[in-house]
């Protein structure tokens, strides 16, 4: 089946629908004023989903990642070549995160579980393989900061990024590693204080930047993140974007579970009414 273009999809495939009063749009913080259903069955606010799908390289449902329309050639994602795949695989092993080797990675002060790390490493690997030479897409929409979900992902990416820099011929100096580690080790406390909070993904990234102070003053933080050309700043930006996307995914997963529970309660109620009639 031939997929529609973006313009055709947005003009014909967003079907108006109704939602209950407690419905939560997975990519918007407000109750939808114009709810629409996608072909995959998921419901969003029309303005929110349109904004999401107009972003470059964005042609999937935010919840189940099903492809909705074809992308123009200029936006088509690159398939990770074997060189990139090999570099990321080497970095994972160099970081002590390969599944068949003893754990030798830095935990950065987080309390971790083996199960959490088993999910986090493939997630970090997939994210790194999806990156291209184009500017990284900034996450948008509601994000859930859940400490137990984010901790292993920060640890995985926090170890992989320096290892990836090394296999690319840019090993961290002792001073760079000390700065990198000092910033990440502030996150366990941040996650503990803000665990369970929901905010816009862009706001979440700004909040985290404010805490990741390598030297002890807000002015120095602004200077650090203000210079986007330094390798360490670019690396930290990659880590934060991964945290942002992970938090958006965490919100989406919670919204999905809540919908399933509502549907299950509705099905039970309907079954009970049928029994009464019989």
In order along the chain (278 residues), what is the average pLDDT of each group of 10 residues? 86 92 73 88 89 84 82 63 83 89 87 90 88 64 92 96 90 89 92 92 88 56 54 86 92 84 71 55
Give me the pLDDT at residue 256, please.
Answer: 83
Give me the pLDDT at residue 239, please.
Answer: 93
Give me the pLDDT at residue 216, please.
Answer: 47
> Model-level pTM greater than 0.75?
no
In order of their start, the domains of the chain are: 1-77 (3.30.40.10), 79-277 (no CATH)
Give me the pLDDT at residue 58, please.
Answer: 83
pLDDT tens-digit map of 50-66: 988 988 778 888 877 78
Give me the pLDDT at residue 220, please.
Answer: 47
The 3 state secondary structure assigned to the chain is CCCCCHHHHHHHCCEECCCCCCCCCCCCCCCCCCEEECCCCCEEEHHHHHHHHCCCCCCECCCCCCECCCCCHHHCCCCCCHHHHHHHHHHHHHCCCCCCCCCCCCCCCCCCCHHHHHHHHHHHHHHHHHCCCCCCCCCCCEEECCHHHHHHHHHHHHHHHHHHHHHCCCCCCHHHHHHHHHHHCCHHHHHHHHCCCEEEHHHHHHHHHHHCCCCCCHHHHHHHHHCCCCHHHHHHHHHHHHHHHHHHHHHHHHHHHHHHHHHHHHHHHHHHHHHHHC
CA–CA dist 79, 72 (Å, integer): 15
Give me the pLDDT at residue 20, please.
Answer: 85
Q: Is residue 45 helix, strand or coil?
A: strand
Give me the pLDDT at residue 14, please.
Answer: 94
Give me the pLDDT at residue 191, please.
Answer: 94
Give me the pLDDT at residue 129, please.
Answer: 83
């Amino acid at each position: 089946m031939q997929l529609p273009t973006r313009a055709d999809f947005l003009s014909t495939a967003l079907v108006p629908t109704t939602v209950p009063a407690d419905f939560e749009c997975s990519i918007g913080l407000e109750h939808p004023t114009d709810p629409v259903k996608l072909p995959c069955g998921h419901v969003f606010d029309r303005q929110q989903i349109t904004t999401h799908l107009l972003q470059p390289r964005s042609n999937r449902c935010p919840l189940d990642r099903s492809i909705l329309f074809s992308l123009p050639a200029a936006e088509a994602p690159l398939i990770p070549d074997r060189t990139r795949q090999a570099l990321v695989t080497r970095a994972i092993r160099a970081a002590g995160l390969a599944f068949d080797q003893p754990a030798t990675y830095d935990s950065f002060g987080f309390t971790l579980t083996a199960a959490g790390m088993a999910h986090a490493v493939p997630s970090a690997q997939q994210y790194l393989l999806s990156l291209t030479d184009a500017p990284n897409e900034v996450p948008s929409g509601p994000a859930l900061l859940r400490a137990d979900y984010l901790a292993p992902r920060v640890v995985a990416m926090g170890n992989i990024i320096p290892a990836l820099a090394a296999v690319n011929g840019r090993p961290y100096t002792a001073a760079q590693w000390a700065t990198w580690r000092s910033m990440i080790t502030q996150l366990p406390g941040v996650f503990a204080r803000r665990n369970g909070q929901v905010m816009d993904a862009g706001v979440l990234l700004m909040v985290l930047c404010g805490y990741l102070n390598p030297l002890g003053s807000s002015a120095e933080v602004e200077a650090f993140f203000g210079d986007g050309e330094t390798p360490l700043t670019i690396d930290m930006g990659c880590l934060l974007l991964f945290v942002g996307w992970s938090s958006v995914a965490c919100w989406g997963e919670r919204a999905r579970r809540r919908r399933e529970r509502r549907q299950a309660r509705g099905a039970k109620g309907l079954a009970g009414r049928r029994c009464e009639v019989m």
